[in-house]
Amino acid sequence: MAAAIIEARCVAPFTVRVRFSDGMDGEASLKPCLFEWEAARVPDLSTETRDWLRVPENFQTVRVDAEAGTLAWADARPFSASLVYWRVERYRVKATVRLKDGAVLSSALLGGRGEVWSNGLTVGRARANTVVVDQEGVAPVHARVTVGGGHHPCYFIEVVEGTVTAGGTSASTPGERLKVPARQPLLLELGPCVVEIE
């Protein structure tokens, strides 16, 4: 039997960030269970509950049923803890800030892909940014980065203030957007720094 789920929150459509009693944590996408799998693969998921959970606003009401040790929505517990455990992806988004000479200023592990990219991230000098770059020449909020593009994912970098260089192209007009294929880590040049997002 899988460990019990002790924490859960919705971080993106049909994706929950969970922590188990054995220390395992990460993001579990339940989208395949709701949209792709045959009903027999999730025997506790009734047709009515499946239809209800396919509405993102309903799915977001996820909670932990401490007694059962699994996810719950109202009285429904359609996914066993072992199924959720199997769906957990332990991947984290890593952000490293370097000076252009290569010296590392900071490095941070952000949340999982769903958590980070569902709302995108901000990069700049202000402490409220997802990635803080506390260097002269970097604006309080320098850029916003999102991911999109379906089967051919791309990073979309929006200039907020200052000059941003990514994928060999520079932009400095607020609201201007750069598009870079997400085949490899994103390298953003901001003032004297390079931010690498993996």
The pLDDT of residue 92 is 85
pLDDT at 167 over 60: yes
The whole-model pTM stands at: 0.74
pLDDT tens, 21-38? 999 999 999 999 999 999
pLDDT tens, 79-133? 999 999 999 987 889 999 999 999 999 999 998 888 898 889 999 999 999 999 9
Distance CA 157, CA 164 (A): 8
Distance CA 128, CA 133 (A): 11
The pLDDT of residue 150 is 74
Distance CA 56, CA 35 (A): 13
The pLDDT of residue 197 is 95
The pLDDT of residue 2 is 66
